[in-house]
């Protein structure tokens, strides 16, 4: 298994998933084929959970995403709960641009349904 990296495009976010436990998804996400984009990410997360680092941190920072992405991101975060069941540490950091109430609320909604340490962080991005 190797790290998974994807450069951002106009329609898809940057993805940097490291076997060392640092996971990053950031940018805009409204892919034409959400399955083609997110299936490899979901498969990577599933494989990663079996050999997860002692500490895993998922940092998510979206400028915008569509409803299909929202569903897939929520599923990915739920998938990380398995790592805690293995006695390892997981933390989600949901970042949102200062003043972006919608992204803040989206993070709060996901935080309310998952059983993971979950930080919501305002970022002063330019």
Q: Where are the domains of the chain?
A: 4-123
pLDDT at 28 over 70: yes
pLDDT digits (tens, 9 = 90+) for 50-65: 999 999 999 999 999 9
CATH 1.20.1250 fits 4-123, yes or no: no
Q: At what angle do helices 67-85 and 101-111 cross, to 10 degrees?
A: 40
Q: Distance from CA of residue 36 to its chain's centroid?
A: 17
For the segment 13-25, the average pLDDT, to the nearest whole number, is 98
What is residue 126's predicted lDDT score, i.e. its pLDDT?
A: 58
Q: Is the pTM of this model over 0.75?
A: yes
- The dihedrals phi and psi of 121, each to the nearest 5 degrees, come to -125, 125
């Amino acid at each position: 298994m190797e790290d998974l990296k994807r450069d951002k495009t106009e329609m898809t976010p940057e993805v940097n998933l490291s076997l060392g436990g640092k996971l990053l998804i950031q940018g805009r996400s409204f892919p034409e084929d959400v399955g083609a984009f997110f299936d490899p990410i979901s498969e990577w997360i599933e494989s990663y959970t079996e050999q997860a680092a002692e500490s895993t941190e998922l940092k998510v920072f979206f400028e915008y995403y569509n409803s299909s992405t929202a569903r897939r991101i929520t599923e990915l975060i739920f998938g990380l709960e398995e790592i805690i069941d293995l006695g390892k540490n997981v933390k989600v950091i949901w970042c949102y641009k200062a003043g972006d109430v919608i992204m803040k609320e989206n993070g709060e909604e996901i935080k309310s349904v998952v059983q993971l340490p979950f930080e919501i962080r305002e970022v002063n991005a330019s």
